[in-house]
């Protein structure tokens, strides 16, 4: 039975005080980026978590909620920077990535931000294009993986 999507939650990380589920966000990022994609841990844990808002996708396959995906958003001027979008392999193709991005877009609009930027892994560019993001510039290497800068203007 496939898990159903229960909700997307988000909250800012207060300096020195982690929300109870922040460890789950870190666990998902470790599994997806460090273990699956071989991103060096020192690049994944870049010191920016304390100034970002974190989003978590929770599914409810039974009596227990489970964290299945995560993302973070930083604000740079009037722009939101979407980062660390990750969904566990067992929960891919359920729409969690789309819901995480919609949650980031909603939060950015609520904060009166005008644009969202991100660095997409080249394999994920079609996913972001379906969500209305446009590629900018040439491919580049980040953490040993080909990426492309993308952005979307918010209404």
- Among 61, 105, 67, which Cα is nearest to 86's? 67
CATH number of the CATH domain containing 94: 3.40.630.30
Q: What CA–CA distance (Å, rounded) separates 24 from 80?
A: 23
> What's the rounded mean pLDDT across residues 20-31?
88
Rounded to two decimals, the pTM is: 0.87
> What's the rounded mean pLDDT across residues 33-53?
93
Is residue 103 a part of any domain in this protein? yes
Is residue 139 a part of any domain in this protein? no
Is residue 137 a part of any domain in this protein? no
Per-residue pLDDT of 91-134, as tens digits, reads: 898 889 998 999 999 999 999 999 999 999 999 999 999 999 99
Beta-carbon contacts of residue 112 (< 8 Å; ≥ 6 apart) = 78
Is residue 122 a part of any domain in this protein? no
pLDDT at 17 over 60: no
Is residue 125 a part of any domain in this protein? no
- Count of structural domains, the chain: 1
* Domain assignment of residue 87, given as a range: 5-115
Is residue 19 a part of any domain in this protein? yes
Is residue 140 a part of any domain in this protein? no
Q: What CA–CA distance (Å, rounded) separates 126 from 5?
A: 23
pLDDT > 70 in the chain, percent: 83
> What's the rounded mean pLDDT across residues 36-44?
95
């Amino acid at each position: 039975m496939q898990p159903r999507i229960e909700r997307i939650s988000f909250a800012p990380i207060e300096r020195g005080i982690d929300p109870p589920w922040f460890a789950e966000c870190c666990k998902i990022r470790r599994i997806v980026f460090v273990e699956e994609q071989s991103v060096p841990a020192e690049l994944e844990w870049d010191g920016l978590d304390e100034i970002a808002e974190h989003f978590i996708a929770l599914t409810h396959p039974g009596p227990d909620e489970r964290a299945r995906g995560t993302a973070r958003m930083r604000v740079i001027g009037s722009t939101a920077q979407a980062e660390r979008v990750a969904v566990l392999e067992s929960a891919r193709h359920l729409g969690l990535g789309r819901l995480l991005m919609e949650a980031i877009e909603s939060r950015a609009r609520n904060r009166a931000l005008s644009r969202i930027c991100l660095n997409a892994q080249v394999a994920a560019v079609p996913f972001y294009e379906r969500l209305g993001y446009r590629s900018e510039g040439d491919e580049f290497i980040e953490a040993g993986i080909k990426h492309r800068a993308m952005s979307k203007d918010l209404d």
